[in-house]
Amino acid sequence: MAFAQFSLENAWLIPLLPFVAFLLIVSFFRNMEKTASTTAIISSVISFALALGVVAAVLQRPELIEEPLVYSMRWFSMPGLEVSMGVLIDSVTAMMLFVVTLVATMVMIYSTGYMKGDPGYSRFFAYLCLFAASMLGLVISTNLLQMFVFWELVGLCSYLLIGFYYFKDSAKEAAKKAFITTRIGDFGLLIGILLIQVNFGTLEFVELAEMMPAFALAHPFLVTLMGILVFVGPIGKSGQFPLHVWLPDAMEGPSPVSALIHAATMVVAGVYLVARAFTLFQFSPEAMMVIAYIGGFTALFAAAIAITQREMKRILAYSTVSQLGYMMLALGVGSLSASMFHLMTHAFFKALMFLAAGSALHAIHGRTDIFQMGGLYKKMPWTAGFMVIGLLAIAGIPPFAGFWSKDEIVLAAQLGGYTDLYYVAKITAFMTAFYMSRMVFVAFFGKENPENHPHESPINMLAPMGVLAFLAIFGGLVGAPWVEKGFSYWVRYGEYVPHQADLMTMASSVLIAGAGIALAWVIYGAKWIDASMLAEKASFLHKLSYNKFYIDEIYQWMNEKIVAGTSRVLYWIDLRVVDGAVDGSAKLTGWLGDKLRLSQTGQLQHYAMIFFAAVVLLVAIMGMMGAETAMALIGGGK
Amino acid sequence: MDFPLLTIALLTPLVGALALAFVPKDEHKVIKSLSALFTGIPLLLTIYAYFTYDFAQGGMQFVEEVQWVKDLGITYIMAVDGISLPMLLLTNLIGFSAVFASWNIEKRPKTFFILLLILIAGVMGTFIAQDLFFFFLFYEVVVIPLYIMVIIWGSSKRVTKEYAGMKLTIYLLIGSALLLVGLLAMYLNAYPAGERTFLIESLQQANFSDEFQIFAFFLLLVGFGSLLSMFPFHSWSPDGYAGAPTAVSMIHAGVLKKIGGYGLIRIGILALPVGAKFWAPLIAVLAVANVAYAAMIALSQKDLKYVVGYSSVSHMGFVLIGLAAMNIIGINGAIAYMFAHGVMSALFFALIGHVYEKTHTRYIPDLGGLSHQMPRLAVGFMIAGMAALGLPGLISFVPEFTIFIGAFQEFPIMTVIAITGIIITALYTLRVLANVLFGPRRAELDKYRDLQGPEMVPLILLGAVIIVTGFFPALLMDMVNAGVEPLIGPLLDMLGDTPTIGGGF
């Protein structure tokens, strides 16, 4: 296939096209809304077509699974440090290119409806294009520094888009928080990169993979250190505990942004980075364990928070944090396939849910509390339907996409010998089914709120959701266990190990998901049990969960008391001690001058007195030490 | 002799200053246009020099050499290599921008622009003179206009402008007094009487004893270090910038203080490598103090200029730790970072100048939501701010990364502490951006207008440099390396086991 070959060889076009669109929009189309969004969508669609070409090419050439195609050019260099930028294509890249371009295209089409009439319409599309370009650049990175560069750029876009409504104080604060929190993660990542560069002399993934086995044998501790430091980056970017705090606040951005950046693509960059650098982690069981447990804990922890939240997008955000924890867990227990598979299906159904949430919020003009919605399905049947599809997919009901990928993860935990994480995954699955159903039942079913006047969204918003809904239903089938050469054959690390369908696990998963949905129905649908009574009975737990375990408060306290306090103390030191010494020396000079000035009386008698005293002194010295010594003493020659 | 490009670039602003003397003092337009012309010409010349400089060959090019005072060994020699050329470019980029940032000066513009032109010529001279005598001469030339400009056109906030001007000048002079001793000692020690020379290149080849190098480098370190606002000799910097008029802040923070870093490399490390190696650990420690301490202080500043002032002190720590690494990568990074920092801090000061000129306040809580009234200014602030926090794709990221790589090999722990600077910088930069630019519209700021016309020049020129070099760092790094590699490379082999203070830690 010529087109597939062309796409493979010109994959650099995939990020470049949205970037060109960005430049066009900011330079020429700032005041031409229609042209701006059309340019953005066209660039994105062509990128999507090329990404499909890359996928087709990879499917034709299975050798790309283990030996990626790499081409690159010099970015800058000096003796001892060479950095290039380029394109690396293997099956993981192809999958990511597909997901990112697909979701980006869908979100852009959706946004033509969602952002209609917004004064920042063109700006919004410009940012989206810049984001797509950066994200795609990240995906095709050949080395860690290139990845870091785009990693930071997607962070910038995230910052700009969270703060899109810059006139709102809350948006301004949320954007800042997101940037700084992820920066803390980047601090670790950057040090990890330095350590790798200094020890290996290269940051290229392919070269690192070749050098790693020998190096790991010689320096196991260093490899663990590198692994953990590099992982700090993903903790920030992918919202893992304890740096998850920015992601729920990031919902200040417009809903399409939440769907694209804070659910489907950017936040999974951390997972993707770990997958890309898997060779590094492969050789350090300790680092892998850290990843697995942080992932597992995050999954459970975020789910525990999501249960009591009231704002729709916040529930979805905590759910994203939890699902990202799932993906990390999968990586930590050693299954790259399961993690990437869940990354893909999650992108489908979570993007769908965010777009549906956006559609709902759009219709009722920003009322965000689910308990003030109620009965939306009557006026918004399509949106409600899509939301239900998303719910079934994330809860893990077969044949929806989430079912297959979640099962892979649970199995991987079991096979890896992590019994504890196996149960964590199961419990999280139950909680996920529960809180998601709670959200859907409360917001879309139940009693209508007479203050709301919802209406169904236009076709340009519904159609993209339809595409994602289709994938949320059927997209998981590519990884069903009885598919020969399915997802885990193509996207893997190391040998392909086919495994049988485990019917027991499947059955228990379905039961757990069903139980979660049923419990939510009992409490929030049929209201056989009063939710507020439950909350009162377990008021301590409820408070903990509702207040997000007070993590935000702790950080705020640290920021206000410790950081700002230190700052003020240091400023005081700078003014009083350091600069005090400077002013002090100036004052001392002035004081000395003042005193010495007194000797300059201008009276001849005084000067004669001093002259005479000096002569007497000199004579006295001469008498005691001899003329020679005294002459030397006062500096005279012979 | 070929076309004396460097001399012409150097003389143009001085000729301009002379020409302005004959313009009637009320012809503001003419004065400003002439200033733009006489800073524009050297800018074009240096850009031409950049494109014709032979990177593959490296070393000194565009050499102009005339014996001056033979008995003392003073030579008029102008030349640039990969270390001087970026500094020369920087001087002219900022000098040209500074003219436009001062476009609305109403108070005695004639005197102002004459002094500005002399200042620019003086700074330029220090970077292209390859003779110590002339280097020092130009350095002293800088002081005079600087002092007068702060005293007359400065602004008094936390400290009076008189205090600020005095502090700035006295620091410069104390630094130069120490330098004078150090430089003369080098001159006298390098060669026996009769063969003495001020040529920097010859001094680099002199065989100074280890003890002498250690002694002389210390003098240079304090002298150049205080110019570079090295901790604890930094306290002039925030007060000085706050008191100075916009153009002076731009030139001082942008290029003038870089004479410190430039001198430490060109004269310190290259002529006194053993001394430099000996003191390197101390420099690294002070560098870390610069980075972390000043960044922390910047967090609690409420005056925009103080934020950028402390930020500039903090960023100089990166330059210092890059130097202290004493390897090709670290020094490459340090020089490139000086260029990067110059461009972004000049842009920052130009924009703050606009805000202050319009609103007469730099107090952050009085501002807010400025992007409603001044969208162009907001774009500029974002570019400068993102560059300050080292965002990839902008000018400062690659130099910063290079410094970290170079320094990490020598001082891993110090480097890690220095890298915390990227978090603290993000904290205060984003806080400033958020509180000045974003948030609800403030009606009381509605009467102020955005940048327009000539005021846009600094934003466009410096902003373009920040973005283009960010995307194509080789444009900057290749130039720097062409100067560093041939000079530093040979030193490294020689320096094998030189003792260091503290015995290396």
Report pLDDT digits (tens) over A181-224: 999 999 999 999 999 999 998 999 999 988 988 888 888 899 99
Residue range A293-307: mean pLDDT, rounded = 92
Please give the pLDDT value at position A136.
94
Q: Could you say which residues from 240 to 299 on chain A have a Cβ atom under 8 Å away from some Cβ of chain B?
A: none
Task: Identify which of A123, A111, A105, A121 has the alpha carbon closest to the alpha carbon of residue A26.
Answer: A123
Please give the pLDDT value at position A638.
45
Compute φ and ψ for B31, nearest 5 degrees: -60, -45
Kindly determine whether residue B405 and residue A81, on different chains, have CB atoms separated by under 8 Å: yes
Task: Identify which of A353, A515, A565, A329 has the alpha carbon closest to the alpha carbon of residue A443.
Answer: A353
The beta-carbon neighbor of A578 closest among B232, B398, B481 is: B232
Asked if A571 reaches chain B (Cβ–Cβ under 8 Å), the answer is yes
| pLDDT tens per residue, range B164-180 | 888 888 888 888 889 99
Higher pLDDT, residue A88 or B492: A88
Task: Identify which of A426, A392, A396, A403 has the alpha carbon closest to the alpha carbon of residue A480.
Answer: A403
Three-state helix/strand/coil letters over B352-405: HHHHHHHHCCCEHHHCCCHHHHCHHHHHHHHHHHHHHCCCCCCCCHHHHHHHHH
Residue B501 lies in a domain: no
Statement: residue B201 has pLDDT above 90: no
**CB-CB neighbors (< 8 A) of B296 in chain A:** 563, 566-567, 570
Evaluate whether A206 touches A273 at the Cβ level (below 8 Å). no
Integer CA distances (angstroms), B137 to A345, A566, B130, B191, in order: 70, 43, 12, 22
ipTM of the complex: 0.91
Evaluate whether A193 touches A145 at the Cβ level (below 8 Å). yes
Task: Identify which of B109, B111, B78 has the alpha carbon closest to the alpha carbon of residue B10.
Answer: B78
Residue B499 lies in a domain: no
Please give the pLDDT value at position A366.
66
Q: Quote the CA–CA distance of B411 and B167 in Å, as a whole number.
A: 34
Q: Which of A214-228, A541-555, B426-440 shows the lowest per-residue confidence on average (mean pLDDT)?
A: A541-555
CA B273 to chain centre: 23
Task: Name A87's bridge partners.
Answer: A71
Q: Quote the CA–CA distance of A101 and A46 in Å, as a whole number.
A: 9
Measured between CA atoms, the residue of chain B closest to residue A153 is B392
Residue B503 lies in a domain: no
Kindly determine whether residue B409 and residue A566, on different chains, have CB atoms separated by under 8 Å: no
Backbone region of residue B43 per phi and psi (left: phi > 0; alpha: psi in -120 to 50; beta: other values): alpha
Statement: residue B497 has pLDDT above 80: no
Q: Which domain holds residue B472?
A: 5-494
**CB-CB neighbors (< 8 A) of B172 in chain A:** none
| pLDDT tens per residue, range B225-261 | 988 988 888 888 888 888 889 999 999 999 999 999 9
Please give the pLDDT value at position B505.
43
> How confident is residue B73, by pLDDT bands cut at 50, 70 and 90?
confident
Compute φ and ψ for A147, nearest 5 degrees: -65, -40
Residue A483 DSSP SS3: coil
Evaluate whether B430 touches A223 at the Cβ level (below 8 Å). no
* Cα angle A304, A305, A307; round to 5: 75
| pLDDT tens per residue, range B286-333 | 999 999 999 999 988 888 889 999 999 999 999 999 999 989 999 999
Residue B63 lies in a domain: yes
State the DSSP string of A134-145.
HHHHHHT-SBHH
Measured between CA atoms, the residue of chain B closest to residue A199 is B409
Residue A71 DSSP SS3: strand
Q: Quote the CA–CA distance of A541 and A186 in Å, as a whole number.
A: 33
Separation in Å, CA of A194 to nearest CA in chain B: 6
> How confident is residue A523, by pLDDT bands cut at 50, 70 and 90?
confident
pTM score, whole prediction: 0.91
Please give the pLDDT value at position B232.
86
Which one of A558-567, B86-95, B232-241 scores highest in mean pLDDT?
B86-95
The beta-carbon neighbor of A194 closest among B235, B408, B438 is: B408
Separation in Å, CA of A206 to nearest CA in chain B: 21
Please give the pLDDT value at position B448.
84
Separation in Å, CA of B434 to nearest CA in chain A: 6
Kindly determine whether residue B405 and residue A198, on different chains, have CB atoms separated by under 8 Å: yes
Q: Quote the CA–CA distance of A85 and A91 in Å, as a whole number.
A: 20
Residue B288 lies in a domain: yes
Statement: residue A75 has pLDDT above 90: yes
| pLDDT tens per residue, range A110-129 | 999 888 888 889 999 999 99
Task: Quote helix, strand, coil % in chain A, to nearest 5.
Answer: 75, 5, 20
Residue B184 lies in a domain: yes
Task: Identify which of A125, A161, A101, A164 has the alpha carbon closest to the alpha carbon of residue A28.
Answer: A125
Please give the pLDDT value at position A130.
94
At A26, the amino acid letter reads V
Residue range A314-336: mean pLDDT, rounded = 91
Kindly determine whether residue B430 and residue A180, on different chains, have CB atoms separated by under 8 Å: yes
Disruptive mutation site among B405, B433, B460 for chain A (greatest number of A CBs within 10 Å): B405
Kindly determine whether residue B300 and residue A568, on different chains, have CB atoms separated by under 8 Å: yes
Asked if A175 reaches chain B (Cβ–Cβ under 8 Å), the answer is yes
Residue B502 lies in a domain: no
Please give the pLDDT value at position B180.
92
Query: Please, which contacts does A559-568 make with residues 24 or more away whose CB atoms are closer than 8 Å?
Result: A563/B296, A563/B299, A563/B427, A564/B299, A564/B300, A566/B296, A567/B296, A567/B297, A567/B299, A567/B300, A568/B300
What's the total number of domains in chain B?
1
Residue B500 lies in a domain: no
Measured between CA atoms, the residue of chain B closest to residue A80 is B329
> Per the structure block, which two tokens stand in for B415?
């480097």
